[in-house]
Amino acid sequence: MADLRNNFVGIKSPNPFWLASAPPTDKAYNVERAFKAGWGGVVWKTLGSEGPPVVNVNGPRYGAIFGADRRLLGLNNIELITDRPLQVNLQEMKQVKMNWPDRALIASIMVPCVEEEWKAILPLVEETGADGIELNFGCPHGMSERGMGSAVGQVPEYIEMVVRWCKQYTRMPVITKLTPNITDIRHPARAAKRGGTDAVSLINTINSIVSVDLDSFAPVPTVGGKGSHGGYCGPAVKPIALNMVSEIARDSETYGLPISGIGGVTTWRDAAEFLALGAGNVQVCTAAMTYGFKIVQEMISGLSDWMDAKGHKTLDDICGRAVPNVTDWKYLNLNYVAKAHIDQDACIKCGRCHIACEDTSHQAITSIVDGLRKFEVMEDECVGCNLCVNVCPVENCITMVGLEPGTLDQRTGKPVDPTYANWTTHPNNPMAVQAAE
């Protein structure tokens, strides 16, 4: 059996699946149920200061994007940080940690950018026995208008400053949660590292309006006839999250900085992809809100079975394995050639590949062969774009076949370059040069 035990910046948990700071982690009742279901850790819903109480809307808080089968693709929320009293949260956190000493319990914190505010709250959190803190520099709505959340996460200097305060006033590991609502994710990550953070977590939710009610002409969710921008999460944000995680994992200035991956993790495969791109563990929210806490059991068994099948014994065997294969476009192997191939036995003759290629691509798929409705790839016109693969409704009906070195590329009339068909030896590849040295 694969060993799924996780050690993230010294915080140990039985598996790498944590619940993210969100409605599912707002109180002891939820967290106890989550731990009973098998979650390795939780990040408690974000705590605020003991100042004026946080007041959430008493109406719709979520908007959604659905697939054709009404499968939830994206969730937009306008909920704020916890509206429960700080002392109540702290007492519950302490009791939960006593009940579940083997699980990770992280306190998410958001207070104003004032040193005394951070200095005051950190000892209170530390007294609960929490394993670490997560600095919420990502919330894009409600709190950001008050100078917190993403308003801090968008200013690297503020990030570095607050991280330094936290490292000064607490013994607990500090995880800095980053906002995706920024041009280049590397800059806030570098700032967090300069401040001394032990790790970063990302992504927080994306600023969004998911839809407009065309009867009331108000954004959804609508509260009393008005709507507001909110935070977007769920399966739809996973590609953005994967890219940002990989950017930090391969950046020379943040290389080796532990990462907790967040954004659309719904299955074990999603988790494995985050781990492969450099994350040390993953945090989940939307999947739990959609399917309930027991979904973690499928994630655990799926990841374990896949690791067993591939011969991976521990999480260290897969963490970061894909990072060396992420590169800039200019380093891609332009001598590599692939062509589309249609499996005629699997083809259902729907014609989607032909229409997509004929109307929007390279007119490389014929629709009539010997007077019959049949779809075949004309290799001399095919540029290997693989649009046909992505629009075909039959899995593996159309595949991309790489040409062997020396094979004549019918489109260019030239043979595939035998010297550099393997990009790992190409002199323009910095990884190859590095390896040679």
Catalytic positions, written as ranges: 139
Q: Where are the alpha helices (DSSP H) in 292-372?
A: 295-310, 352-360
Strands (E), 48-129: 62-66, 72-77, 104-109
Contacts of residues 383-386 at CB distance under 8 Å and 24 or more positions apart, as own/partner, are 383/411, 384/337, 384/338, 384/339, 384/340, 385/361, 386/338, 386/340
Q: Are 158 and 195 in contact (CB under 8 A)?
A: no
Scan for tokens 């490389």, then name that residue: 364
Report the distance separating Cα 361 and Cα 383, nearest Å. Answer: 9
Strands (E), 223-304: 230-233, 259-262, 281-284
Structure tokens at 229: 């921008």
Scan for tokens 């997509």, then name that residue: 356
Q: Are 380 and 350 in contact (CB under 8 A)?
A: no
Q: Are 73 and 65 in contact (CB under 8 A)?
A: yes
Report the distance separating Cα 53 and Cα 47, nearest Å. Answer: 11
Report the distance separating Cα 317 and Cα 404, nearest Å. Answer: 31
Residues, the chain: 437
**Rg of the chain on CA atoms, in Å:** 25
* φ, ψ at 267 (rounded to 5°): -130, 170
Structure tokens at 20: 């993210």
